[in-house]
């Protein structure tokens, strides 16, 4: 059957292209997948790696080129076609129905769950549990998935994908939302699955993780294929260069972050904690008066505690890093610090105006249909300086926006351009610049580089770093991020958020392993 | 004895008035479970009433019911082409479909029957008495001496309950309504599922309209739907998107309407417009009460760009 | 898409929508056995056939559409789906009549402002019920505003049959309001009244508010993205939603007041042929731009003025006009979608 060589391919793309309007997401890419391998697919944001995975998963129909599965050319029209050929996909943004239970979600995907007449098949439940046992997946099947943690949801997702015979398993950024120990658990499961002959595509942008798990690696850049190598024979530096297409200034996220070692600007800054807070096990500590303080703050959301007994101080010129797995109360903490949410319990002393870079850039940080000026006006429209009598001084606001565009190096034709035409990185620069405008005392940055490519990440991080060294105007910065590398790189002090509680991290524990343990450990300790 | 007779006739009238609401609301339940709120339901009802009238004149009441359902379904298909296929705003599209339906049914009616204002006399669908069950005191005649449309509404309750919560297609349909992206990723054809759900809602709303012209009144008048489609949408909310709850809510409104007729008959000097307003006020009050807090499907009213 | 194409887009899309409507309407008319040419010609003559037809019919009929259209446009701008302009208009008309009848001896300078203020207040009050249900209980405003329309219609019916019935007791209508409450004519020799000018002034005020003031910026922000308004704008969404409901209701109520003070001089059943619903088409065709509403209201005023002539001269029932209104809305929606598809607004990879 196979005529191409000794190893039969599980799947193969030949010269595949796909455009979205004016954007070419994939440009004549070829790609081979061997049964039983874990194949890392690397690239910056917008490099086309998700698009490639979606073409293989049947979710996107390519404009040109050929898709082969199991040695035969196929035309995939939708996810069902791909599934029928043994291709399953685990999505970056989970594709589970939040209000359905784990079991319902598994059954929705699986033809085997039903009799020919559409009724539930007898014994299906047992088969699901047996399969989960085989794969070593701990899953909760009878709880609505909206009530599960991210890791638990991902396990449901993987179980769902592997319920029927699967030749190709596609995982899109599966580690982005996991704590380090959960990542190890995931990779163990993947080794198990690939050992049974399934080919796995692991889409990722973190080099060290891919190198740890993958057998082979392919790099895409701007929609084009760059290289495919054995993971053992290529270095992180070579891959980083292949991804970016040139040397990158500053630190490359995820590269060369050894234990406790800092990259980029932070290494050059004198430790502002020196001489105080030695071994402090409080997030609030002695020192100059803080710009913001929380004391025993608690909030309740939908009848449940979102924040519990949170105490912290933030001072000028420091970056307080708050690590944690997504969904442990970080959003609520950001809302409290920004003054949008009033605590139900405890006390919050906050500056009048707070800069807040929200996590959801396009949904909360910006209005896509508004121009850059109008988006900047969010910070300015309430100021007397931006009014003339009852009228808004749009000319003044436009000037401020134009200056922001220059200063932040936003690539846009003018400040009258709508935000929707900007790339993710440039959008984030606008948000960051705007929040700097109101951050005289306190800046809250929530996952400020999520979804940005390497260059934009470096740019945004160095802006935040520079801000914290900006003389008298220096605010205190609270950096909330699920990206441990980012936290370690930028923070002066670190705390971990777990189950709504804030746990300070002693200075001698500022490393991936210890913080990772706290992210999970504190959670375990709190469980009933 | 007279009281029992009065109660019995009140119940007969209440069930009869509840049937069109129940039919339209059961269909809308399916459509909303798939994530589409169809304000154009009112349009399906009025087209159903006119289609019923024209069909009945041409080939008798049974053909009338069929034509009514077909007309309602076609109207809903037009809505689905815009709101589902082209992904236009559901609220605005539905409003346009309703306005246009009220206008064009008037135009068709006037061109067929002139503007004389003479009442049209239609052959009506007869009531069917169910043996034995109709002998149950008080409740028997109310529930089991009704037209075919009523029995269809009864049958739809368990049928839809089974379909939505016990079958693969029901699960897929609910997935589309909760989270179209997840459903799409699972291989459910979102556009087709939503379109079919909307058309089903149109079919039952068309039947509801045909019930108005062929069972309830035996005539057609412009605008005779009188907001029944809108009330049906409120009924779906009050019934918490479950077939059983929806039928209970429809009966409640049928009762309110029957009460209004009974009170008018009892004392002709009572200000009848206030009673006519009663079902609408009750809808508002019920929506404002604890009913309003039940959770709608998460993807309800949210478009899905393919 | 270039900036110029963006600026040009709305005007061209509107023209395309109107052409599409014309084509579909012509096809339907032909299907219904009415020669479309004759029908359109009669309609055009009825609306624009003479200066007097234009001013005394088209512009007079455009007036309530202008005000209700502005009411809808403002609410939609804040993403408040107020489908209840019809009910708010009825509430306003009733309040204006009640206020004017209650002060028989007052001079015009007192009476007219009092009647119009009462109308606006009543419209706002009518809108406050769905506003409270939305902000306080999370009940969607689409259904509640629709239901409030029916309540308003029946309440109007009740009042003109009972408590407010004319003293002669012949018809189901109120007494005529005092002559001092009649709106003065705008152009001598025509029936155009001050109401049209009020509508234009409201349009300009709304436009200035939306584009030039901090409050208007907030309204647009809430309409574009309530979450961004809260997070990026750091202001509370709820007061803005309330403002949108109340202002929208007040303007729709004003439409009712202007109609009774300027044209009918009394309230009766069936005062409005559904202006509150036509208003949705008026607002959408104007892309919710208050200044453009002035133009689109005249377009629909012409349809309304020409509808009678179409029935009389071409034998096409006037109800066709309602159908054509719906076609306009659908055409705008469809043209907008194809416009977006042409502009190639796709997702990125």
With 0-12 / 13-18 / 19 or more C-beta atoms within 10 angstroms meaning exposed / middle / buried, residue B285 is: exposed
Give residue A196's Cα distance to chain centre.
30
- For chain B, say whether A286 makes contact (Cβ under 8 Å): no
Task: Residue count of chain A, please give it.
Answer: 528
User: How far apart, in whole angstroms, are the C-alpha atoms of residue C105 and residue C112?
Assistant: 12
What angle in degrees, to the nearest 10, is found between the helix axes of C85-102 and C237-259? 60
Answer yes or no: are the C-beta atoms of C14 and C287 closer than 8 Å: yes
pLDDT at A472: 66
Model confidence band, residue A333 (pLDDT cutoffs 50, 70, 90): very high
Strongest mean pLDDT among A408-417, B182-191, B237-246: B237-246
Q: Which of A448, A424, A425 is nearest to A436 (CA)?
A: A448
User: How far apart, in whole angstroms, are the C-alpha atoms of residue A129 and residue A36?
Assistant: 24
B110–C317 CB contact, under 8 Å: yes
CB atoms inside a 10 Å sphere around CB B238: 24
φ and ψ of C272, to 5 deg: -110, 130
pLDDT at C341: 62
C349–A50 CB contact, under 8 Å: yes
Q: Lowest mean pLDDT: which of A507-521, B91-105, C334-348?
A: C334-348
User: How far apart, in whole angstroms, are the C-alpha atoms of residue C252 and residue C89?
Assistant: 5
Q: What is the distance in angstroms between the Cα of A379 and the nearest Cα belonging to chain B?
A: 29
Q: What does DSSP say about strands A72-74 and A87-90: parallel, antiparallel, or unpaired?
A: unpaired
Answer yes or no: are the C-beta atoms of A428 and A452 closer than 8 Å: yes
Torsion on CA atoms B76, B78, B80, B81, rounded to nearest 10: 170
- For chain B, say whether A91 makes contact (Cβ under 8 Å): yes
What tens digit of pLDDT does each residue of A32-51 get? 999 999 999 988 767 888 88
With 0-12 / 13-18 / 19 or more C-beta atoms within 10 angstroms meaning exposed / middle / buried, residue C2 is: exposed
Q: Where are the alpha helices (DSSP H) in A339-423?
A: 372-380, 394-407
User: How far apart, in whole angstroms, are the C-alpha atoms of residue A378 and residue A434?
Assistant: 8
Q: Is A87 helix (H, G, I), strand (E, B) or coil?
A: strand
Model confidence band, residue B118 (pLDDT cutoffs 50, 70, 90): low
Q: Lowest mean pLDDT: which of A153-157, B112-116, C340-344?
A: C340-344
Chunked into runs of 10 residues, chain C (349 residues) has average pLDDT values of 51 85 93 90 93 94 98 96 96 96 91 97 98 90 92 94 86 91 90 96 97 95 91 92 98 98 93 92 91 95 92 88 90 81 44
User: How far apart, in whole angstroms, are the C-alpha atoms of residue A328 and residue A500?
Assistant: 5
What tens digit of pLDDT does each residue of A212-244 get? 889 999 999 888 999 999 988 888 878 878 877
A98–B184 CB contact, under 8 Å: no
CB atoms inside a 10 Å sphere around CB A275: 8
Q: What is the distance in angstroms between the Cα of B33 and the nearest Cα belonging to chain A?
A: 13
B91–C337 CB contact, under 8 Å: no
φ and ψ of A13, to 5 deg: -110, 140
Answer yes or no: are the C-beta atoms of B198 and B75 closer than 8 Å: no
C224–A369 CB contact, under 8 Å: yes
Asked if the interface predicted TM-score (ipTM) of this complex is over 0.85, the answer is yes
Closest residue in chain C to residue A392, using alpha carbons only: C213
Please give the interface size between A and C, counted as residue pairs whose CB atoms are below 8 Å apart: 88
pLDDT at A95: 80
Interface test with A, best of B176, B187, B295 (most A CBs within 10 A): B187
Helix (H) or strand (E) holding A502: strand A501-504
Answer yes or no: are the C-beta atoms of C346 and A21 closer than 8 Å: yes
User: How far apart, in whole angstroms, are the C-alpha atoms of residue C82 and residue B91?
Assistant: 10
Kindly list the residues of chain C whose beta carbon comes within 8 Å of any beta carbon in chain A: 3, 6, 212-214, 217-218, 221, 224-225, 227-228, 230-235, 343-349
The beta-carbon contacts of A117-126 under 8 Å, at least 24 apart in sequence, are A118/B167, A118/B168, A118/B169, A119/B166, A119/B167, A119/B168, A120/B166, A120/B168
pLDDT at A192: 87
Model confidence band, residue B93 (pLDDT cutoffs 50, 70, 90): very high
φ and ψ of C82, to 5 deg: -80, 100
Task: Residue count of chain B, please give it.
Answer: 306
Of A94 and B215, the structure prediction assigns the larger pLDDT to: B215
φ and ψ of A199, to 5 deg: -85, 135
Q: Which of C213, C66, B92 is nearest to A386 (CA)?
A: C213
Model confidence band, residue A522 (pLDDT cutoffs 50, 70, 90): very low
Neighbours of C, requiring at least 3 CB pairs below 8 Å, are A, B
Of B248 and C15, the structure prediction assigns the larger pLDDT to: B248
pTM score, two decimals? 0.83
Residue B126 DSSP one-character state: P
Q: What is the distance in angstroms between the Cα of B305 and the nearest Cα belonging to chain A?
A: 14
What tens digit of pLDDT does each residue of A434-492 get? 998 887 789 999 988 876 777 778 888 888 877 777 666 688 999 998 788 888 889 99
pLDDT at residue A258 greater than cutoff 70:
no
What tens digit of pLDDT does each residue of B172-231 get? 999 999 999 889 888 889 999 999 999 999 999 999 999 999 998 888 988 899 889 988
Q: Is C65 helix (H, G, I), strand (E, B) or coil?
A: helix
**CB within 8 Å of A505: residues ≥ 6 apart:** A323, A493, A494, A495, A496, A514, A515, A518
Q: Which of C71, C316, C271, C239 is nearest to C172 (CA)?
A: C271
User: How far apart, in whole angstroms, are the C-alpha atoms of residue B152 and residue B133?
Assistant: 16
Closest residue in chain B to residue C154, using alpha carbons only: B273
Helix (H) or strand (E) holding B54: helix B41-80
Q: Is A34 helix (H, G, I), strand (E, B) or coil?
A: coil
Of C229 and B9, the structure prediction assigns the larger pLDDT to: C229
Model confidence band, residue A174 (pLDDT cutoffs 50, 70, 90): confident
State the average pLDDT for chain B: 88
pLDDT at B275: 82
Q: Which of C165, C161, C152, C8 is nearest to C93 (CA)?
A: C152
Helix (H) or strand (E) holding B247: helix B243-266
Q: For chain C, positions 33-62, list CB contacts with chain B under 8 A.
A: 33
Mean pLDDT of B51-57: 94
Strand partners, A87: A168
- For chain C, say whether B273 makes contact (Cβ under 8 Å): yes
CA angle centred on A17, ends A14 and A22, rounded to 5° = 170
Q: What is the distance in angstroms between the Cα of C198 and the nearest Cα belonging to chain A?
A: 22
pLDDT at residue A273 greater than cutoff 60:
no
Residue A33 DSSP one-character state: E
Interface test with B, best of C85, C150, C156 (most B CBs within 10 A): C150
C319–B96 CB contact, under 8 Å: no
Q: Is A18 helix (H, G, I), strand (E, B) or coil?
A: strand
Q: Out of B167, B178, B187, whose CB is closest to A118?
A: B167
Half-sphere exposure of A257 (CA within 13 A, CB side): 27
Chain C residues with CB-CB distance to B291 below 8 A:
none
In this prediction, what percent of chain A has a pLDDT beyond 70? Answer: 86
Mean pLDDT of B10-24: 92
pLDDT at C8: 56
Q: Which of A142, A198, A143 is nearest to A169 (CA)?
A: A198
Answer yes or no: are the C-beta atoms of C249 and C80 closer than 8 Å: no
Interface test with C, best of A19, A20, A92, A445 (most C CBs within 10 A): A20
Answer yes or no: are the C-beta atoms of A354 and A443 closer than 8 Å: yes
Chain A residues with CB-CB distance to C232 below 8 A:
358, 364-367, 375, 378-379, 431, 434
Chain B residues with CB-CB distance to A91 below 8 A:
185
Q: What does DSSP say about strands A168-172 and A199-204: parallel, antiparallel, or unpaired?
A: parallel
User: How far apart, in whole angstroms, are the C-alpha atoms of residue A292 and residue A421?
Assistant: 36
Model confidence band, residue A519 (pLDDT cutoffs 50, 70, 90): confident
Chain A residues with CB-CB distance to B181 below 8 A:
93, 95
The DSSP code sequence of A341-361 is S--SEEEEE--SS-EEE-S-I
Q: Out of A51, A339, A367, whose CB is closest to C228?
A: A367
Mean pLDDT of B114-133: 77
Closest residue in chain C to residue A423, using alpha carbons only: C348
pLDDT at residue A300 greater than cutoff 90:
no
């Amino acid at each position: 059957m196979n005529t191409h060589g000794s190893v039969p391919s599980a799947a193969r793309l030949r010269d595949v292209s796909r455009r979205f309007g004016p954007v070419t997401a994939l440009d004549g890419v070829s790609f081979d997948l061997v049964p039983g391998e874990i194949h890392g697919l690397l690239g910056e944001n917008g490099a086309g790696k998700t698009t490639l995975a979606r073409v293989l998963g049947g979710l996107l129909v390519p404009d040109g080129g050929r898709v082969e599965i199991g040695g035969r050319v196929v035309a995939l029209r939708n996810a069902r076609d791909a599934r029928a050929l043994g291709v399953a996909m685990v999505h970056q943004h989970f594709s589970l129905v939040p209000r359905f239970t784990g079991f319902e979600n598994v059954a929705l995907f699986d033809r085997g769950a039903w009799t020919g007449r559409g009724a539930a098949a007898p014994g299906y439940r047992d088969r699901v549990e047996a399969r989960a046992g085989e794969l070593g997946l701990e899953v909760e099947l009878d709880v609505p998935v909206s009530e599960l943690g991210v890791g638990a949801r991902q396990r449901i997702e993987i179980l769902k994908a592997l319920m029927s015979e699967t030749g190709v398993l596609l995982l899109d950024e599966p580690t982005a939302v996991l704590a380090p120990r959960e990542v190890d658990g995931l990779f163990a499961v993947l080794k198990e699955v690939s050992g049974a002959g399934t080919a796995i595509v692991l889409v990722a942008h973190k080099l060290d993780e891919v190198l740890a798990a993958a057998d082979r690696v392919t790099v895409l850049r701007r929609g084009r294929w760059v290289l495919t190598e054995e993971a053992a024979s290529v270095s992180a530096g070579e891959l980083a260069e292949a991804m970016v297409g040139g040397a990158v200034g500053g630190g490359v996220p995820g590269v060369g972050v050894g234990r406790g070692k800092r990259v980029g600007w932070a290494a050059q800054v004198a430790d502002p904690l020196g001489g105080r807070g030695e071994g402090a096990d409080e997030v609030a500590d002695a020192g100059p008066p803080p710009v913001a303080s929380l004391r025993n703050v608690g909030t309740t959301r939908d009848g449940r505690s979102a924040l519990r007994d949170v105490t912290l101080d933030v001072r000028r010129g420091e970056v307080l890093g708050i690590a944690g797995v997504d969904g442990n109360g970080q959003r609520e903490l950001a809302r409290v610090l920004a003054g949008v949410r009033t605590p139900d319990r405890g006390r919050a002393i906050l500056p009048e105006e707070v800069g807040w870079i929200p996590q959801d850039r396009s949904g909360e940080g910006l209005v896509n249909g508004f121009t850059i000026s109008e988006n900047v006006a969010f910070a300015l429209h309430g100021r007397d300086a931006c009014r003339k009598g009852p009228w808004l001084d749009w000319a003044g606001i436009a000037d401020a926006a134009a200056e922001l565009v220059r200063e932040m190096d936003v690539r846009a034709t003018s400040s009258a351009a709508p935000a929707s035409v900007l790339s993710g990185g440039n959008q984030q620069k606008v948000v960051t610049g705007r929040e700097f405008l109101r951050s005289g005392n306190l800046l809250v940055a929530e996952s400020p580089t999520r979804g940005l490519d390497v260059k934009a990440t470096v740019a945004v991080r160095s802006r935040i770093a520079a801000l914290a060294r900006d003389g008298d105007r220096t605010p205190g910065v609270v950096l909330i991020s699920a990206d441990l590398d980012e936290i370690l790189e930028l923070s002066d002090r670190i705390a971990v958020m777990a189950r709504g509680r804030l746990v300070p991290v002693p200075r001698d524990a500022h490393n991936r392993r210890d913080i990772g343990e706290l992210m999970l450990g504190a959670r375990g300790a709190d469980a009933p | 004895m007279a009281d029992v007779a009065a109660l019995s006739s009140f119940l007969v009238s209440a069930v009869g008035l509840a049937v069109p609401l129940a039919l339209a609301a059961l269909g809308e339940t399916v459509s909303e479970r798939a994530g589409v709120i169809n304000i154009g339901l009112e349009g399906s009802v009025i087209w159903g009433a006119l289609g019923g009238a024209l069909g009945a004149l041409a080939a008798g009441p049974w053909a009338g019911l069929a034509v009514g359902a077909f007309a309602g379904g076609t109207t809903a298909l037009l809505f689905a082409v815009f709101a589902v296929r082209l992904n236009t705003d559901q609220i605005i599209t539905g409003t346009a479909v309703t306005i246009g339906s009220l206008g064009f049914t008037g135009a068709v009616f006037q061109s067929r029957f002139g503007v004389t204002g003479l009442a049209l006399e239609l052959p009506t669908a007869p009531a069917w008495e169910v043996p034995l069950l109709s002998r149950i005191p008080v409740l028997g005649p109310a529930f089991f001496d009704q037209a075919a449309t009523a029995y269809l509404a009864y049958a739809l309750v368990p049928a839809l309950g089974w379909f939505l919560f016990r079958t693969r297609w029901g699960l897929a349909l609910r997935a589309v309504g909760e989270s179209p992206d997840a459903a799409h990723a699972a291989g459910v054809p979102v556009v087709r599922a939503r379109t079919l759900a909307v058309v089903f809602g149109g079919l039952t709303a068309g039947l509801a309209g045909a019930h108005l012209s062929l069972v309830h009144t035996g005539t057609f008048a412009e605008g005779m739907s009188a907001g029944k489609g809108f009330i049906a949408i409120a009924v779906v909310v009050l019934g918490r998107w479950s077939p059983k709850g929806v039928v209970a809510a429809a009966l409640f409104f049928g009762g309110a309407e029957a009460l209004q007729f009974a009170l008018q008959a009892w004392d002709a000097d009572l200000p009848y417009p206030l009673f006519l307003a009663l079902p609408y006020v009750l809808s508002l009050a019920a929506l404002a009460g604890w009913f309003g807090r039940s959770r709608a499907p998460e993807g309800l009213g949210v478009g899905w760009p393919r | 898409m270039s900036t110029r194409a963006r600026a040009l887009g709305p005007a061209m899309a509107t023209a395309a929508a109107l052409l599409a409507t014309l084509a579909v309407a012509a096809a339907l008319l032909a299907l219904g056995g009415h020669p479309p040419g004759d029908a359109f010609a009669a309609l055009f003559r009825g609306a624009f056939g003479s200066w007097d037809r234009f001013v005394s019919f088209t512009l007079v009929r455009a007036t309530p559409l202008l005000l209700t259209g502005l009411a809808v446009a403002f609410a939609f701008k804040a993403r408040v789906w107020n489908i209840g302009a019809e009910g708010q208009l009825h509430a306003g008309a009733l309040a204006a009549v009640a206020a004017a009848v209650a002060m028989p001896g007052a001079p015009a300078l007192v009476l007219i402002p009092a009647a119009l203020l009462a109308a606006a207040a009543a419209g706002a009050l009518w809108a406050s019920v769905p506003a409270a249900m939305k902000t306080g209980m999370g009940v969607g405003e689409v259904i509640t505003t629709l239901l409030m329309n029916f309540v308003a219609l029946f309440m109007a019916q009740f009042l003109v049959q009972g408590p407010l019935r004319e003293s002669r007791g012949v018809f189901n209508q109120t007494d005529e309001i005092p002559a001092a409450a009649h709106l003065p004519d705008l152009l001598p020799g025509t029936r155009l009244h001050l109401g049209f000018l009020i509508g234009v002034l409201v349009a300009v005020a709304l436009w200035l508010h939306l584009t030039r003031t901090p409050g208007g910026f907030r309204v647009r922000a809430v309409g574009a993205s309530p979450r961004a308004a809260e997070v990026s704008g750091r202001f509370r969404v709820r007061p803005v939603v309330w403002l949108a409901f109340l202002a929208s209701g007040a303007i729709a109520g004003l439409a009712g007041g202007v109609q009774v003070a300027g044209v009918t001089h009394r309230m009766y059943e069936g005062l409005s042929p559904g202006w509150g619903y036509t208003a949705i088409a008026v607002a959408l065709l104007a892309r919710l731009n208050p200044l453009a509403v002035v133009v689109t209201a005249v377009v629909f005023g012409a349809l309304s003025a020409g509808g009678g002539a179409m029935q009389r001269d071409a034998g096409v029932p006037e109800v066709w006009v309602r159908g054509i209104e719906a076609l306009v809305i659908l055409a705008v929606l469809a043209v907008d979608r194809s416009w977006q598809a042409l502009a190639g607004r796709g997702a990125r990879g």
